[in-house]
Structure 1
Amino acid sequence: MELSTGERALKALRPVRVLHPTLLSLCPLLGLFAQNLDTVQTGAILRPALVLAGISFLVTAVLAIALRNRYKAGLVTSTLIVSLVVVWGVLEDLISRAIPLYPTMPPVAFYILYAVLALAASGFAVYEYRNDPTRLRVHLFFLAAMLAGGLLIAALVLSPMFGRRAAWIITAYLMITVYAVVVVLRYPDDFQVMTRSANWFSGILLGLYVVVIIYNWPHSSGAQSKLTDLPAPQPTMFSPQTTPDIYFIALDGYGRGDTLRTFYGYNSLPFEEAMNAKGFSFSDKSTSNYLDVPLALTSCLNLEFAHNMLSDTAEPSSASTTELMRLYHQNRLFRYLKNLNYHIVAFSPGIESMEPAGSVDEVLRPPYGLTEFEMVLLNRTIVSRIMEGIYYVRYRNPAAWGFSHLRRRVQFTLNELEKLPEASSDSPRLVYAYLPFPEPPYLLTRDGGLAQPFGPGSLGIDRMFRGLESDYREAYLDQVSYLNKRLDTVTTAIVEKSKRPVCVLIASCRGARVSLNAAEPSQRERFAILTASRFPQASGEGLPQDVGLVNLFRATLNKLFGTSLPLLPNEYLSPPPGEPFKKVVASF
């Protein structure tokens, strides 16, 4: 039934719930999730969603008390959310894309930007207060003070942290934000009507993100795996009482000893001798089979090359990263050991696509540690610049903030690996720890301090190493030296404190980048990786000298359980991006 004019007027006067700040705060979260459906687990959005909703509600409540008007408070909160959260990522993209243009942009260009903003704001004030000279003068004085203060802040405070040109852009944007808040505060019309419209707008916007997520939800291409179950262990080599614990420490970017000596002038013999004394042996000709970390680890844990994992009827080019990560999480090794009553323990590496799932029984991660998804989300808000400022004041190292979640996980994993052997377990354990280390960006110095991720004095806003070749090599060797010391103490704890016989495998997914210029020299040296092993007999006889990463567990299961798995021929493969199951031999 159609409402009368009076009924519509009464309905318009009814209280309106202030929903738009919360709805708007969730938009960047769902937008980022929609762009990473292939790699981010659904549960990863729960905690940031609760935090964003809670902060928006709290800010609205505080402003409602201060302004004595919940509708005005909601609109001010939404203005801040749009500027400092929703649109801030666009500002960061603008700064990143403008970096190559910085050398050709004279400082006068940024002064012109400020002049345009000042003229636009002044013109608006003249029009708005054309009949009130007193308020016009006050408004123009406010604009002049804000402009002068902004220039001083940009020059004296923000420039040392973020670089001069980025500081000017950020300051101009913050001035626009302040002016927008002032305009909202002085808005003369009905805030209740605006609240109703803002609720509808934010609800529709959030709904569109949900539709995009549903439409783009990853689905399997239908390609079936042809991986069969591994053979059962030989009865004479398997006993529930003497079944060994297995520790697999997977690294990234740790080059083979000969590569480090040839290209870095680094002598790894003291580390190798210390490990040899504990029963470890090094495979001096070991190689990776892929330079892509997910591919390398998926083939390693499935004991097979990626192009041989799918059924013969599957088209390799149609199978995407989704299938690859499914095979990583539901890998053949974990299934095999689960059938042998192994308890699977895995560490969180801080990389969303590599987060433990599937057959893992226990996941270890730092308490309250940020995830990669949360870090990327924060880096698209003003919080990232605030934290970079704090890191600049405390450490003179603003770029280090962006990798704090990785640094914390590396240290947490190494610390916990020393403690795990002391814990008793009714069943044997496979402990799997993937560390994205010592691969750049650099996280730690030789003594465990805070490293410059992209070189001395680098702001890190373009995620490229800005130091010299010598700085690059020194930073890399610092990480190798730190890692060697930690691996020495970790393996000592594992060997001496384990309650069961123990097998320890240490292997890198790919070797060291031997030049700051990724195109020189060839990729051959990048395939040469560190591989060290210790078996329960501690006889010094480890894996074959030329073992490839795909054969790591084939050789290991043969030694531990007598499975007689044939070793695959070593191949160096480089599939194109997005087609991980396509066989393409790397060219050197």
Structure 2
Amino acid sequence: MIKYPFYIFLLSFYPALSLYAANMQELALLDAIIYACASLILVVCLFYLLNLFFKDREKTALYLVVFLLVFFYFGLFRQYFYGLNPEIFKTKYLLPLVFLLLILLLIWMKKSLYRYDFIAPPLNVFSVIILFMVVLQIGFNYKNVVWSFEVQIERNESNVQLAKSKTMPNVYFIILDEYAAFGSIKQIYGYDNDNFKEFLTTNGFFVAENSHTKFAKTIISIPSVLNMKYVNANADMGIGLSLYKQNVVFKKFISLDYSIASFGLFTHTNQGYEKYYKYKNPFLEYLGQNSILEVYIRRQVINQFYDGDKKIFQELIHLTNNKSQFIFLHLLLPHIPFRYLENGEHQVIYNVQNYSDKNVYLEQYIYATNKIHDLIVDIQKKDPDGIIILQSDHGSRSAYFANKLDVERESHYILNAIYMPNADYEGLKDDMENVDTFKILLPKIEKYIKEKE
């Protein structure tokens, strides 16, 4: 049995399981199992067909190893060669070359009289070892991955009665990802967004025009705001997501007997939210970004974003009919992928990550501004007692990718506008940091709730 090349079937599990093991805080185990099984089915089918061609299972298995490497890790090779010469090593040139090499290898191995029987035993052992290590890593770390949203907080009975009477105001915390501050968009992109600023102030918002964040990174900035203190600057995705899922602000609103509705990038379905919606299945994006189907999968991911944007806005409007909700909305706008033109039409696919042309970001920025303008109008019309907090997690990043202008000014200065129906803006400052948002607002919200009572 050791001489049978079963290594190819074990290796088919590796891409999906190793991806999950490295990103357990963000990915779902069920997705990993589904994609691993799909990979196995693909390999079994190819093994059967290629074995009819080679009439040699050792050659078939070895060829499939090469095929799996190319299929799942083509993107890594492309990135390496692209870094050497971006003009020559484009996907449209590399992809035909790779297919040609695979065909030539197929023909060469078919004609070759060389025997590969000796390869199976060591590769069988190797495949068992690396798969065992991945499964072991998943087993050790799985218990530390917290998907649940367990909150042990004593509830205030007066707030419970208030919630039952449906008089507690909704709180809308809306984050526009990578939305440039008013000063930055004018200085760097030459766009005057004063009409939107005037709209906010006219509709009763306090606008902190020089507000900023210490961290220009979503996975640190948002957990900092929701925990009302700066998290470790070196926090990785896993730590950041844990701090996001178990954040202090959500717990505080639950203690006030609010229900939580969460929409956006980091939402997970098992966190006990009243309503939830997640933008996309990240497993497809992670697995596909390095595969030979990179371009096709990128299109599917973009389509998920289109669907997600539409669904989120639809769901949010329905929520204005209820009370006693803390509604967290994290819109991946105007952040990449750049998928919209100013008028809402779809952006061309090759511009989805184009930072070098500032107009691409600006088109999506204006689109996001118009959508939020209409959203605020709807909220204030249908839910006049609602509290609205409108922020960006960080500013735009053209300086990072195009090596232009002042990185600090652009990426760290943010949009920050707050609407309290009772106009209680005492203590809010023009240059406030986003981490102080709920430190200042929570006492005001509790005071407003008592006023409403």
After TM superposition, the score normalised by the length of structure 2 is 0.77
Structure 2 distance, partners of 1:12, 1:298, is 50
The question of 1:23 aligning with 2:10 is answered yes
Amino acid at match of 1:443: R
Structure 1 distance, partners of 2:320, 2:362, is 36
Structure 1 distance, partners of 2:223, 2:104, is 52
The question of 1:364 aligning with 2:277 is answered yes
Kept after mapping to 2: 8 A contact 1:510/1:528: yes
Structure 1 distance, partners of 2:236, 2:75, is 30
Matching residue of 2:211: 286
Matching residue of 2:228: 303
Deviation at 1:182, TM superposition (A): 3.8
Matching residue of 1:413: 309
Matching residue of 1:551: 436
- Please give the secondary structure, in 2, of the residue aligned with 1:447: coil
Kept after mapping to 1: 8 A contact 2:214/2:412: yes
Amino acid at match of 1:512: S
The question of 1:67 aligning with 2:46 is answered no
Structure 2 distance, partners of 1:295, 1:281, is 25
Matching residue of 1:347: 263
Structure 1 distance, partners of 2:109, 2:120, is 12
Amino acid at match of 2:23: N
Matching residue of 1:253: 178
Amino acid at match of 2:52: L
Deviation at 1:447, TM superposition (A): 2.3
- Name the CA shift for 1:56/1:518 in 2 (closer, same or farther; >3 Å): same
Structure 2 distance, partners of 1:300, 1:164, is 42
Residue segments in structure 2 that go unaligned for 5+ positions in a row: 146-151
Matching residue of 2:82: 99
Structure 2 distance, partners of 1:522, 1:165, is 29
Kept after mapping to 2: 8 A contact 1:242/1:501: no
Kept after mapping to 1: 8 A contact 2:176/2:391: yes
- Please give the secondary structure, in 2, of the residue aligned with 1:437: coil
Kept after mapping to 1: 8 A contact 2:74/2:291: no
Deviation at 1:297, TM superposition (A): 0.7
Structure 1 distance, partners of 2:424, 2:361, is 29
Amino acid at match of 1:262: Q
Deviation at 1:238, TM superposition (A): 5.5
- Please give the secondary structure, in 2, of the residue aligned with 1:175: helix
Larger Rg, first or second structure (1 or 2): 1
1:397-432, CA deviations, whole angstroms, 9 ceiling, x for partnerless residues?
Answer: xxxx63752663365235433443335887622222
- Highest relative contact order (Cα 8 Å, sep 6+), 1 or 2? 2
Structure 2 distance, partners of 1:299, 1:547, is 14
Match of 1:430 among 326, 333, 338: 326
- Name the CA shift for 1:412/1:91 in 2 (closer, same or farther; >3 Å): closer
Kept after mapping to 2: 8 A contact 1:378/1:384: yes
Residue segments in structure 1 that go unaligned for 5+ positions in a row: 1-10, 104-161, 221-227, 308-315, 388-400, 565-588
Kept after mapping to 2: 8 A contact 1:249/1:507: yes
Matching residue of 1:112: none
Deviation at 1:50, TM superposition (A): 3.2
Kept after mapping to 2: 8 A contact 1:244/1:536: no
Kept after mapping to 2: 8 A contact 1:286/1:546: yes
Structure 1 distance, partners of 2:163, 2:130, is 60
- Name the CA shift for 1:249/1:403 in 2 (closer, same or farther; >3 Å): farther
Aligned-pair RMSD on alpha carbons?
Answer: 4.5
1:521-552, CA deviations, whole angstroms, 9 ceiling, x for partnerless residues?
Answer: 25034322111233345x59695433321122
Structure 1 distance, partners of 2:424, 2:270, is 34
**Amino-acid identity (%):** 19
Equivalent positions of 1:499-578 (< 5 A) are: 501-513=385-397, 515=399, 517-518=402-403, 520-537=405-422, 544-562=429-447
1:462-485, CA deviations, whole angstroms, 9 ceiling, x for partnerless residues?
Answer: x774x4xxx32x122111110011
Amino acid at match of 1:253: E
1:195-239, CA deviations, whole angstroms, 9 ceiling, x for partnerless residues?
Answer: 89876664444234334555787969xxxxxxx989969979965
Kept after mapping to 2: 8 A contact 1:19/1:199: yes
Structure 2 distance, partners of 1:360, 1:92, is 37
The question of 1:384 aligning with 2:306 is answered no
Amino acid at match of 1:521: D
- Please give the secondary structure, in 1, of the residue aligned with 2:65: helix
* Number of aligned positions between the proteins: 440
Deviation at 1:188, TM superposition (A): 7.4
Moved more, 185-194 or 329-338: 185-194
